[in-house]
């Protein structure tokens, strides 16, 4: 009887070790073209495409979960999964292991046409109130300018809230990644903003480059698996840029 029980235990352990482990990757549900959720709830974006590629390329089972960015970041920070769409900062580098950049998410400035002003450098934002999403880094240059007091960064909970703050005159301009493509659907999706859609303008040249990465909290996934995943995400990025 004891031998049988030992055999069952060994078999169960072997099966458990053989069973594929699913790795969760978190991403924003409102970050075009990286990741967003359509009205029907369907996940869309480059993150979806990349995860499908990496699963086929590596054989590792991945689960992509889209949610508000602040929550996605917190869960990744707690080591409950990886994250797609993370900007590099020195502070975060002490918490996360980063992949190489998989996409350059340039940060644009959105203004109202009636009060627009030229911006060729971050120094020209001196004394301005600039809207930004809570918990988001907009790249080292912009983050550092805000820390140095060049301008006041006014944080909010959503892109829609930020645009409404701009419309109401609470801020002078709004930061929005990939705004040239992301702003129009945001305006159309909200009845209040849709009425004023022609009042907004995007400065076409990004304020700064903002390379984004895949990242895992240090020690949350074994180095071999992490390396395999990162190499595959980089392979996807190279193939995408080549087309």
Domains of the chain, first to last: 21-104+211-242 (3.40.190.10), 107-202 (3.40.190.10)
pLDDT value at residue 16: 45
Query: Within its chain, how far is the Cα of 177 from the centroid?
Result: 10
Instruction: Please list the alpha-helical segments (H only) found in the chain.
Output: 2-18, 46-58, 69-77, 90-93, 140-147, 159-167, 179-189, 191-195, 223-242
> Given pLDDT bands bounded at 50, 70 and 90, which one contains residue 15?
very low
Closest CA to 57 of 239, 241, 220, 242: 239
pLDDT, mean of residues 179-197: 93
When computed from its CA atoms, the radius of gyration of the chain, rounded to whole angstroms, is 21
Give the pLDDT of residue 6: 53
How confident is the model over 89-100, as a mean pLDDT?
Answer: 96
pTM: 0.80
| Residues contacting 198, CB < 8 A, separation 6+ | 113
Task: Say what the pLDDT of residue 69 is.
Answer: 92
Does residue 207 have a pLDDT over 80? yes
Per-residue pLDDT band for 1 (boundaries 50, 70, 90) equals low
Tens of pLDDT, residues 149-177: 999 999 999 999 999 999 999 999 999 98
Beta-ladder partners of 175: 109
> In the predicted model, what is the mean pLDDT of residues 118-143?
93
> Rounded mean pLDDT of the chain?
91
Burial class (CB in 10 A: 0-12, 13-18, 19+), 141: middle
Q: How distant is the alpha carbon of residue 27 from its chain centre?
A: 6
Rounded to whole angstroms, the Cα distance separating 4 from 74 reads 46
- DSSP states along 203-230: -SS-SB--EEEEEEETTSS-HHHHHHHH
Both structure tokens of 126: 């001196």
pLDDT at 106 over 90: no
CA distances for 23 relative to 16, 147, 174, angstroms? 16, 35, 35
For residues 204 and 28, the model is more confident at 28
Share of the chain above pLDDT 90, in %: 74
At 212 the pLDDT is 94
């Amino acid at each position: 009887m004891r031998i049988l029980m030992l055999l069952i235990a060994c078999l169960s352990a072997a099966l458990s070790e053989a069973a594929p482990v699913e790795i969760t990757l978190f991403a924003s549900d409102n970050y075009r073209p990286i990741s967003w959720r359509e009205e029907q709830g369907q996940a869309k974006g480059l993150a979806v495409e990349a995860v499908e590629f990496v699963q086929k390329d590596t054989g590792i089972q991945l689960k992509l979960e889209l949610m508000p960015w602040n929550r996605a970041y917190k869960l990744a920070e707690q080591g409950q999964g990886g994250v797609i769409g993370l900007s590099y900062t020195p502070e975060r580098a002490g918490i996360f292991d980063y992949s190489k950049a998989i996409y350059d998410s340039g940060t644009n400035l959105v203004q109202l046409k009636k009060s627009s002003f030229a911006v060729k450098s971050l120094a020209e934002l001196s004394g301005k109130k600039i809207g930004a999403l809570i918990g988001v880094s907009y790249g080292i240059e912009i983050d550092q300018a805000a820390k140095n007091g060049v301008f006041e960064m006014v944080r909010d909970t959503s892109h829609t809230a930020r645009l409404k703050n701009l419309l109401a005159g609470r801020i002078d301009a709004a930061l929005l990644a990939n705004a040239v493509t992301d702003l129009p659907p945001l305006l159309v999706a909200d009845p209040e903003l849709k009425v004023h859609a022609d009042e907004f303008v995007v400065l076409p040249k990004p304020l700064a480059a903002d390379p984004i990465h895949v990242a895992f909290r240090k020690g949350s996934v074994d180095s071999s698996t992490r390396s395999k995943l990162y190499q595959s995400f980089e392979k996807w990025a190279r193939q995408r840029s080549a087309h």
